């Protein structure tokens, strides 16, 4: 086969493979970001419900000591939930980056071989 034509075909194949890898990577990133968005939405709803419940308890408190206990328990719980959620979302972002990179890594290894 004529050498320049062979080289052109190789470039076309490489270009298509790279395009396919980028599309797969974008798809993986999109799925991951949707999952992260849903997780944050669920956390927000839960936090709002917890805050509403704490407010209702504060309004019904009969003494200052009881109100301080309710507020202390709510603050501790809110902080623990927030740190757990931040850790979970951080892990989800890390997994998203890893999943999105895999198709690109595979394409690079294929062309390097």
pLDDT tens digit sequence for 71-113: 999 999 999 999 999 999 999 999 999 988 888 787 777 766 5
Q: Is the pLDDT of residue 70 over 60?
A: yes
Range 43-57 average pLDDT: 97
Q: Is the pLDDT of residue 1 over 70?
A: no
Give the pair of three-digit tokens for residue 91: 């892990």
What is the predicted pLDDT for the residue at 10? 72
pLDDT band at 41 (very low <50, low <70, confident <90, very high): very high
Tally of CB atoms within 10 A around 70: 19
How does pLDDT run across 2-37, given as a tens digit for each residue? 565 567 777 777 778 778 888 888 898 999 999 999
């Amino acid at each position: 086969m004529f050498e320049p034509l062979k080289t052109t075909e190789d470039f076309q194949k490489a270009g298509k493979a790279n395009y396919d890898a980028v599309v797969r990577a974008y798809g993986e990133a999109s799925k991951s970001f949707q999952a992260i968005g849903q997780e944050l939405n669920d956390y927000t709803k839960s936090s709002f419900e917890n805050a509403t419940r704490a407010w209702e308890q504060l309004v019904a408190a009969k003494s200052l000591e009881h109100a301080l206990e309710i507020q202390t328990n709510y603050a501790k719980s809110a902080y623990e939930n927030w740190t757990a959620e931040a850790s979970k979302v951080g892990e989800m972002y890390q997994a998203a980056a890893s999943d999105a990179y895999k198709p690109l890594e595979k394409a690079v290894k294929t062309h390097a071989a």
